[in-house]
Amino acid sequence: MNRLFFSTILSLSCSLGWAQAYRSMSIWNDGKSTDYQLVAVDSLQFVSDSNAVNLYTKKNVSLKASDIDSITISVPDVTSTNKKTVSQLKSEFSTVKIDATSFKPVGSNNPLMGHKFGADPWGMVVGDRLYVYMTDDHLYRSTNGQPITGSFDYTDCKKIAIISSEDLVNWTDHGTQPVAGSGGPASWASNMWAPCAAHKTIKGKEKYFLYFSNNSGGIGVLSSDTPYGPWTDPLGQALINHSTANCSGSVVPSVYDPAVLIDDDGKAYLYFGGGTDNLDPKDPGSARCVELGDNMTSLNGDPVEIRPPYHFEDSGINKVGGKYLYSYCAHFNTGGGSPGNGNIGYMKSDNPLGPFTYVGKCFDNPGGASWSGGGGNNHHAIVEFKGKYYMLYHNRALKSAMRSSNPDINDNVELRSTCINVISVDTVRATIKNLSSSEITQAGVKQLKNFDPYVKVPGATMAWENNVTTEYQKVGNNYICTANLQAGSWMCLSNVGFEEGTKGFTARVKGRGIIKICSVRPGKTGTDIAYVEVESPKMWKNVTVPLVSVPKNGVTARLYFVSSGNISIDYWSFIK
């Protein structure tokens, strides 16, 4: 006797709705079953009077009642917060204009960010993540809201930009955070330039310290309980300025560009200084180093002199093979003397406070690379991460890509972007092989590991994007950085690892519109993985949806998030 369980099916459809309600259907006959995936089903139609059953899945299936003993419908663990059907959600994109291009080309890993600028990078490793701290380069605005053009004015740089990554391709934006001036923890300071950071266990608690340039007149220090802030000012004044011993303006024209090192014995050292005003350009002697106190916010002794040839700015410090390598940027009038105009040179010492001996050049000015967007000042940081050494630097590639679509960007508007490339360091001889401009590529570095989609991923995490902005804001007692998308905006992740499978997606969002998650570039036909309905314009809301198509277990090369409206994302994750 054939059995059709209409009452059960209808009761389920009433309570859950057809849109993404069921995971699968099994049709049984003579002890055997045929399974149908129903993750994309919008309707099932049972026509009993004609003795037939129509099953609407990806392909229409028509069966006679005589072919069926029973029907089993399984409900997924993930209950959808969507109210619309899949067809309705898809239709939201029918009128949305999507530009599939991006200023940072998909597949290129330099610069690190395509949605904003950042200069003078410093790298700090915490656990499995590399944190990068940068000057907040941006399109400066005058008091009437119009762009300031025709000037290299850095006086509007008062914030710090912080990003981090486990794989060096997908980067989490921790926000452009206030530092100097009104609204910043260092209200006494006028600017925030060229930061560096370190962390140390103090009284049993891990503390993070941020050192920054107050224009060229001093070094400030901030502290935090996390590597990404928020920051507080423990001193309420500069740690070092022109009144500090051996740092007067006549011998150190610019007290700026700090670098910090915590040695194996726990002692910490700060390196800074530069400028050539009224000094011998071949040997200005304007660089300084000093031991920090155990609290990281005081000095243990007076700064002492370092004498890098043709030095101008940009201190760097690394301990390699038991030696201390001090690196720096030369000025732009070396007359052929090593390390050459705007290049990075380095020195070596057996002791953290010197004396240092000049070794040679270790990095060409990146402006010589064809894709870099032109020359200009140089700044660098060398960081060891997961067994390799990397050179962090900035160039003008993103500015160059944006010029054709933004009339406010011209030669005299200074907008720099941080990049990264592998650099060869001999850890036995404590030497650095020069990284030439021809070796720094837009392709950048290889991704170190697959991206983990199962963890709580901050919304402002991406490798590439189009028309996405990020916002650092306080929500309750916490500070977050959100990704803000408009109609047609998208962001993309590289090599996402679905090795453990997935059955759903969850996020904390705000706004109105639809998020489409897919594995092909927007505008192309391909696999849609999930649709997320966002209908909360004023309040943050948690949403959860099953998938309309389950990614194969393994690596998804590109994972896109596409928006049909104005949506902010706090965080998201896929459900195993």
pLDDT at residue 336 in the model: 93
- Specify whether 294 is catalytic: no
Overall average pLDDT of the 539-549 stretch? 94
In whole angstroms, give the CA distance from residue 574 to residue 274.
Answer: 49
Please indicate, yes or no, if residue 86 is contained in any of the structural domains. no
Domain membership of residue 540 (yes or no) is yes
pLDDT band for 20, please (50, 70, 90 cuts): very low
Annotated catalytic residue: which of 173, 313, 314, 533? Answer: 313
- Averaged pLDDT of the chain: 89
pLDDT of 526 > 50? The answer is yes
91: DSSP letter: H
Beta strand 425-426 pairing with 461-462: unpaired
Decide if pLDDT at 37 tops 70.
Answer: no
Which of the two residues, 1 and 341, has the higher pLDDT score? 341
Same-domain pairing of 479 and 398: no
User: Of the ranges 39-53, 170-184, 199-213, 517-531, which one carries the lowest mean pLDDT score?
Assistant: 39-53
Residue 17 has pLDDT above 70, yes or no: no
Given a cut of 90, is residue 497 above it in pLDDT? yes
**Per-residue pLDDT at 38:** 52
In a domain, 468, yes or no: yes
Question: Is 110 inside any structural domain?
Answer: no
Is the pLDDT confidence value at 46 over 70? no
**Helix, strand, coil percent values for the chain (each to nearest 5):** 5, 45, 50
The rounded percent of the chain whose pLDDT value lies above 70 is: 85
Contact status, residue 504 vs residue 546, Cβ threshold 8 Å: yes
The whole-number average pLDDT for the span 274-281 is 96
Same domain, 223 and 326: yes
In the predicted structure, residue 519 carries a pLDDT above the cut 90: yes
Mean pLDDT of 57-70: 56
The domain spanning residue 50 has which CATH number? 2.30.30
Residues in the chain: 576
Instruction: Indicate whether 493 belongs to any domain.
Output: yes
pLDDT digits (tens, 9 = 90+) for 319-352: 999 999 999 999 999 999 999 999 999 999 999 9
277 part of the active site:
no
Q: What is the pLDDT of residue 22?
A: 41
For residue 63, what pLDDT is reported? 58
d(CA 31, CA 477): 59
Distance CA(545)–CA(518), nearest Å, equals 14
Considering only residues 557 and 67, tell me which one the structure prediction assigns the higher pLDDT: 557
Q: What are the backbone dihedrals phi and psi of residue 107, each rounded to the nearest 5 degrees, phi first?
A: 105, -20
Domain assignment present for residue 139? The answer is: yes
For residue 55, pLDDT over 90 is answered with: no
Same domain, 218 and 307: yes
Burial 158-168 (b: 16+ CB within 10 A, else e): bbbbbbbbbbb
- When pLDDT is cut at 50, 70 and 90, the band that residue 394 belongs to is very high
Q: DSSP 3-state assignment of 137?
A: coil
* Judgement on whether residues 359 and 396 belong to the same structural domain of the protein: yes
Nearest to 179 by CA among 199, 203, 166, 197: 197
Q: What is the pLDDT of residue 39?
A: 45
Share of the chain above pLDDT 90, in %: 77
* Mean per-residue pLDDT, 472-492: 96
Place of tokens 């140390």: 200
Beta-sheet strand order (sheet of 357-363): 311-320, 323-330, 344-349, 357-363
Question: In sequence order, what are the residues at sequence separation of 6 or more whose Cβ sits closer than 8 angstroms to the Cβ of residue 232?
Answer: 185, 222, 223, 224
Assess if residue 278 is contained within a domain.
yes
Give the residue among 306, 315, 313 at the shortest CA–CA distance from 353. 306
Same domain, 30 and 149: no
Q: Which of the four pLDDT bands, split at 50, 70 and 90, describes residue 252? A: very high
Q: What DSSP string describes 330-348?
A: E-S--TT-TT-TT-EEEEE
Range of the domain at 467: 457-575
Q: Look at the chain and report how many structural domains it folds into.
A: 3
Whether 47 has a pLDDT exceeding 50, the answer reads no
* pLDDT over threshold 90, residue 377: no
461, 565: one domain? yes
Query: Which CATH number characterizes residue 338's domain?
Result: 2.115.10.20
> Which of 384, 416, 432 is where one domain is finished?
432
Lowest mean pLDDT among 253-262, 272-281, 406-415, 536-545: 406-415
**Rounded Cα gap, residues 240 and 256, in angstroms:** 9
Q: What is the rounded CA–CA span in Å between residue 426 and residue 230?
A: 37
Residues 261 and 209: their CA atoms lie apart, in Å, by 11
Same domain, 58 and 155: no
> pLDDT tens across 123-158, in order?
999 999 999 999 999 987 776 777 665 556 688 899
Alpha-carbon distance of 124 to 390, in angstroms, equals 12
pLDDT digits (tens, 9 = 90+) for 89-112: 999 999 999 999 999 999 999 999
- In what order do the strands lie in the sheet containing 287-291? 259-262, 268-273, 287-291, 304-306
Contacts of 529 (CB under 8 A, 6+ apart): 505, 517, 518, 519, 547, 548, 549, 550, 551, 559
Structure tokens at 32: 């055997």
- The more confident residue out of 3 and 494 is 494
**CA triple 124-317-442, angle to 5 deg:** 60
Residue 550 belongs to a domain: yes
Q: Which of 223, 186, 226, 351 is nearest to 298 (CA)?
A: 223
Same-domain pairing of 521 and 556: yes
| pLDDT for 74 | 58
CATH number for position 469: 2.60.120.260
CA 360 – CA 431 distance, rounded (Å): 9
Choose among 180, 157, 176, 162: nearest CA to 123: 162
Residues 417 and 463 in one domain: no
Instruction: Please give the full DSSP string across 380-400, using - where no structure is assigned.
Output: EEEEEETTEEEEEEEESHHHH
Find, among 505, 568, 559, the residue nearest to 536 by Cα: 568
Q: What is the model's pLDDT at position 536?
A: 96
CA angle 480, 482, 486 (to 5 degrees): 165
Q: Tell me, yes or no, whether 62 and 158 share the same domain.
A: no
Clarify whether residues 413 and 497 are in a common domain.
no
Domain identity same for 300 and 405:
yes
